[in-house]
Chain A
Amino acid sequence: MNAFRLAGDMTHLISVLVLLLKIHTIKSCAGISLKTQELYALVFATRYLDIFTDFISLYNTVMKLIFLGSSFSIVWYMRRHKLVQRSYDKDHDTFRHQLLVLPCLILALLIHEQFTFKEVMWTFSIYLEAVAILPQLVLLQRTRNIDNLTGQYVFFLGAYRSLYILNWIYRYFTEPHYVHWITWISGLVQTLLYADFFYYYISSWKNNVKLTLPA
């Protein structure tokens, strides 16, 4: 495993921990999109179907369990926990996430590397992950009042995607036959979705002012 990949996984892990910290400790999910969190739970559930059938490494299995467990518990907190539920900004989180699921499923059925159930589900999860952040970005844009933890959560998620791109470039040059257009194009699309947010995040940090997004 190269350094970019490890750093990517770690920023992904940090983003989840930041979100759990906010929800579990402060008992608030203000500014967090339940739609995005539900999409992530679906992403991990469909991607890690191999968790009990293909052993890759202890690291791999443990990380999969963490991402599955954290994504489902975040959804549980936001839907069922009395205090957390109350801080959920339901009126602004209106992105119809079903509209993302169906096109991704159709695309996975059309474009994949192997036509097997596991591989099509895996491909679906790759496509869905690329667009799953959209409800969150729309919510940030609508509320415009972004607290530090929410900003950091989205920042670390974006950092994770950028580092994975560096990881693919590294692997392309160091491993024979490492060519995966599906992952690369989806990953690139996903990273580009963060570009706007990154621009405002970094300029607010540089100027030492509170993060706001333009309407």
Chain B
Amino acid sequence: MVTDPFGMVGLLTFIRAAETDANLVQLALGSDLTTLGLNLNSPENLYGTFQSPWADGPCRPQDIDFHVPSEYLTNLHIKDKLAPIKLSRYGEDLLFYLYYTHGGEVLQLAAAAELYNRDWRYHKDERVWITRGPGMEPSVKTNSYEMGMYYYFDCHRWCKVPKEFHLDYDKLEERPHLPASFHHN
């Protein structure tokens, strides 16, 4: 057999080395390209929301610069005249919108805190917001968990949906804390 790197032994040596050193693998065995944050099965073109070669997710709606008449843009000089953002005045729908479109930002935490104030609770495993429906008392209630019918917010259908849950209290997020330097305006 060919004994230098250009035959089967060369390839085999590489395969064995790759088992120990993932860094070697990246080129020759490559990586799972579906894990780079691009929806390769999307029926839409990807380039319109491609955020950056370094980002592992597409642009969010508010990141994309659309050419709107400049009157639509909040001019630097009237910004201070506009009412400051006050989440306690907003409806749930807007709070959920702000939560789901500002991932990784202070506004997401602020929306989470306001939802908490309105008796919504975030389930850290199920990764959904849950609240008790009117008149829906838990069928079982202990020190560490409760069970029953609750509403959860389905962000794909964008509505509240009733569903049975077994709620371990330690799986529910405590009141979200905002960073001290939070100036959403």
**Are A and B subunits of one complex?**
no
